[in-house]
Chain A
Amino acid sequence: MKNVIPVLTVVLAILLLWYGGAILLNKQWVLDQAARQDRVLTTPELIAETWAQDKPKLPAPHQVAVELWDTVAMKKPTSKRSLVYHAWVTMSATVLGFGLGTLLGFALAVGIVYNRVMDKSVMPWVIASQTIPILAIAPMIIVVLNAIGISGLLPKAMISMYLSFFPVVVGMVKGLRSPDAMQLDQMRTWSATRAQEFRRLRLPASMPYLFASMKIAMAASLVGAIVGELPTGAVAGLGARLLAGSYYGQTIQIWSALLMAAALAAALVGLIGLIQRITLKRMGMA
């Protein structure tokens, strides 16, 4: 609770900058329009108009707020015009992709830690895989998956998975290797099996790492889902909203979809944080 005042201060500062920025960026258009219509604007008029444009370069915060209110609270959540509906569509793909990515990442990490060949050969390629601009070839992936009959939620989830498995691999490899030499030696003196060593030492030791990387993975997964929604443009989801907004120059719509996406990410990441706190508390580590 100590954070409330600092956070509010920062938010306030951002709002001020935002309003100021809106004036700066939208000024040109307002002036051009006035010139075309032979009007002369006073400064207050100018400012008022920059904050009330239909298709501003940067919409003012209240414009976005009104749009959010209209599309979140005033529409039936099942309506195609409701942001809640689109957020739901994106969230399904995000969560599915996140689940798949976490599983894949976990499996790879276990393989890397327990198998010499994987340890030596896989990691450089895992890193290289993330330097491929998957976002750039997402459309092709969608098309190719479509061609072999996979469509709907799964292609989006696959892109999410591709982006989210990486932080999990990296974090889990670190976590599974975090027990120190002495702790491993103890297991040896008790002549514990590999499975016992894994369940009773490596796994619990890796928990803090797992949660930290799951948070990153969740955020990445959301980006993946949105990217997956872009090329199939006309379909549902926050990504489709962003795109449609962009085709028709609806900046306000873009910003509201964007803020909705950020809120969704914050909520999902917060959920993991909650699970983390409960789990670590029960393990006596918090």
Chain B
Amino acid sequence: MSWILAGLIVWALGLWANVRLSKRKGRAAALAVPVIFGLVLVFVWEAVVRGFGISPVLLPAPSVIAARFGQSSGVLWQDFVQTVLKGALTGYVLGCGAALLTAIVVDRFDFLRRGLLPVGNFVAALPIIGIAPILVMWFGFDWQSKAAVVVVMVFFPVLVNAVQGLADTSAMQRDLMRTYAASYWTSLWKLRLPAALPFIFNGLKIASTLALIGAIVAEFFGSPITGMGFRISTSVGLLQLDLVWAEIVVAALAGSAFYGGVALIERAATFWHPSQRGR
């Protein structure tokens, strides 16, 4: 009972603090508000698990997860390397790179654009869940097949965004290039690519969350006996839910960091775009 009460109080306190803080300007406040929100969330979770005596086999408390985090850091690190560094990152780089090159080709040859994009949309609708086992069958159990799944997952979001971005120049901007009698490559390099950057980054950001999810889920369909997806799927069977949640925390942290990193690069590369200037 006392835990539930504590949960309620902390929740009220957090809300009050955030209402106050969000009226303030400045970096610190902007950072503090979501952090407080998160801390309150975690505390309420702890309180609920303890207060209602929820079985650790169903949902472990954050404190238990944290303890496991410390205990199993070796395993967690090893899984992180296997899944994120080898699987997700490789796939992300290959997939996004291939998508950008394809976008340029597709943009250059209208025939391809009109043929490839509709078919591409259909292929992109193939659920990853169905593709993963097939790719594992083709590329083997190790990280290569995870990278392949990630390539498939990130390819179309990036392609579609990039193609749209390359077309997103105003008539006047293109006319200007025409009056300079600029070649195709010149206008690609000096006009269309810079203009496409905001769109491309949009695709890259979406792809960054997809990459991690893709790599983890693909491990459900075959993996060596290491990796975050492997650990999650097998630990549930052994009822080591604390380890499962520790892996999920790693995934969330890695995913957020990945997304944040791409967003930072975006900020530097598209500083001129209205969406980056405002607020």
A positions within 8 Å CB-CB of B: 2-3, 5-11, 14, 25, 57-58, 116-117, 119-125, 127-128, 130-137, 139-140, 143-144, 147, 219, 222-223, 226-227, 230, 239, 242, 246, 251, 254, 257-258, 261-262, 265-266, 269
Q: Which of B4-12, B15-23, B174-182, B184-192 faces chain A?
A: B15-23
A226 lies within 8 A of B18 (CB):
no
How many residues of B are counted as interface, with CB atoms below 8 angstroms from the partner's CB atoms? 60
Q: Which of A121, A131, A139, A227 contacts B36 (CB 8 A)?
A: A121
Q: How far is the CA of A242 from the CA of B221 in the complex (A)?
A: 12
Tell whether B114 is near chain A: CB-to-CB under 8 Å: yes
8 interchain residue pairs of minimum CB distance: A131-B255, A6-B115, A265-B125, A121-B37, A10-B115, A258-B130, A120-B33, A6-B114
Q: Write the chain A residue with the least CB distance to B259.
A: A127
Interface 0/1 of B110-134, CB less than 8 Å to A: 0111111011011111111111011
- Of B21, B127, B254, most buried by chain A (CB within 10 Å of CB) is B127
Q: How far is the CA of A2 from the CA of B129 in the complex (A)?
A: 34
Q: Write the chain A residue with the least CB distance to B112.
A: A6
A125 lies within 8 A of B129 (CB):
no
Q: What are 29 A-to-B residue pairs whose CB atoms are below 8 Å? A: A2-B114, A3-B115, A6-B114, A10-B116, A57-B138, A58-B134, A116-B22, A120-B18, A120-B21, A125-B38, A128-B252, A131-B255, A131-B258, A133-B213, A133-B248, A135-B216, A136-B248, A144-B58, A223-B129, A227-B129, A230-B129, A242-B129, A242-B130, A254-B130, A254-B134, A257-B130, A262-B123, A262-B125, A269-B121
A226 lies within 8 A of B115 (CB):
no
In the complex, chain B residues whose CB is within 8 Å of the CB of A265: 125-127
A223 lies within 8 A of B114 (CB):
no
In the complex, chain B residues whose CB is within 8 Å of the CB of A246: 133
B256 lies within 8 A of A128 (CB):
yes
Q: Write the chain A residue with the least CB distance to B119.
A: A10
Tell whether B243 is near chain A: CB-to-CB under 8 Å: no
Chain A nearest CB from B236 CB (Å) reads: 7
In the complex, chain B residues whose CB is within 8 Å of the CB of A139: 236
Q: Which of B22, B125, B137, B232 contacts A136 (CB 8 A)?
A: B232
B positions within 8 Å CB-CB of A: 15, 18-19, 21-23, 29-30, 33-34, 36-38, 41, 58-59, 111-116, 118-119, 121-131, 133-134, 137-138, 209, 212-213, 216-217, 220, 228-229, 232-233, 236, 241, 244, 248, 251-252, 254-256, 258-259
B129 lies within 8 A of A137 (CB):
no
A14 lies within 8 A of B119 (CB):
yes
In the complex, chain A residues whose CB is within 8 Å of the CB of B123: 262
B232 lies within 8 A of A7 (CB):
no
Chain A nearest CB from B1 CB (Å) reads: 21
In the complex, chain B residues whose CB is within 8 Å of the CB of A226: 127, 129-130
